[in-house]
Amino acid sequence: MSGGNISVMDYQSQFLNEIYHVDSTLGDKGLQVYQNNLHMTAMLSLTVTYPVLAQMVGEQAMFVLSHRLLRAELPESGDWADWGQQLPALIRNSELNAEHPYLVDIAQFEWVFHLASRSQFHALNSASLQRLADEALEQTFITLQPSLKYLRSSYPVHGLWRLHRSQTEQEVPSRQQLENVMNHQETGCYVIAQGAHNTNIVEVYEDEFNWLRGISDGLSVAALLDIFPAFDFAAWIASAIQRDWITHLE
């Protein structure tokens, strides 16, 4: 490992890189132990980050996926919880996708939930709501929770997520339970954000999904109302405040 002044995070990342890429067939048993431990740690980390996916595919598949992911994405910090972002893309390009295409969306859903759950909550600056009364909507912008993310799926990922989260590690959902979830119509649009007490998941309809996209694109309240004239802004702002989605208006 090269010398010089480097941070602890850089040191750990460099150390992992050297352990992983050295050929373990060279006969160094100590190195093989490190590599095996690395693979096991990677699998356990992914199982914590993607618990529903792990229940769905099983331990052996998670070990294979973690092994492949290490080749594409080594941890960049000393915290394994930061690792795993590329897993949905890896699944999309794997043999799992042909027979189980919903796994990509489940993985993406879990990664967004994982990020939100580790994010800081920002309380609403209620004084900033006065901007709505000032009627300067062309210069009024809504700021959402930094953790707030929205995503789509053509599969009932929220129902699948809730079903598997309600099971113990030793349990698996029954065929009837799975059929019930798969036959349940979801909106296909989801918002995940860290609230004051919990990480919240809300199913929304297309109009609200597009409204949130407009906010994220930097549109003012006036511009949003021009684009979505039928949108009930008064009802939405009250609901968004209750859901802890908004930090302030500016």
Task: Sketch the domain layout of the chain as residue ranges.
Answer: 1-100, 108-250
Residue 153 token pair: 């799926």
Q: What is the pLDDT of residue 7?
A: 52
Q: How far apart are CA 212 and CA 208, in angstroms?
A: 6
The pLDDT of residue 10 is: 54
> Tell me: the pLDDT tens digits for 124-145?
999 999 999 887 899 999 999 9
169 pLDDT higher than 80: no
For residue 194, the cross-strand partners are 199
In angstroms, rounded to a whole number, what is the distance separating the alpha carbons of residues 209 and 242? 17
Across 168-176, average pLDDT: 82
**pLDDT greater than 90 at residue 39:** no
Sign of CA dihedral 94, 95, 97, 98: positive
Q: Supply the pLDDT for residue 28.
A: 62
When pLDDT is cut at 50, 70 and 90, the band that residue 233 belongs to is: very high
Residue 109 identity (one-letter amino acid):
F
Tell me what pLDDT residue 33 has. 66
Mean pLDDT, the chain, rounded, equals: 88
Single-letter amino acid code for the residue at 219: L
Predicted TM-score (pTM) of this structure? 0.84
Residue 42's H or E segment, with its range, is helix 29-49
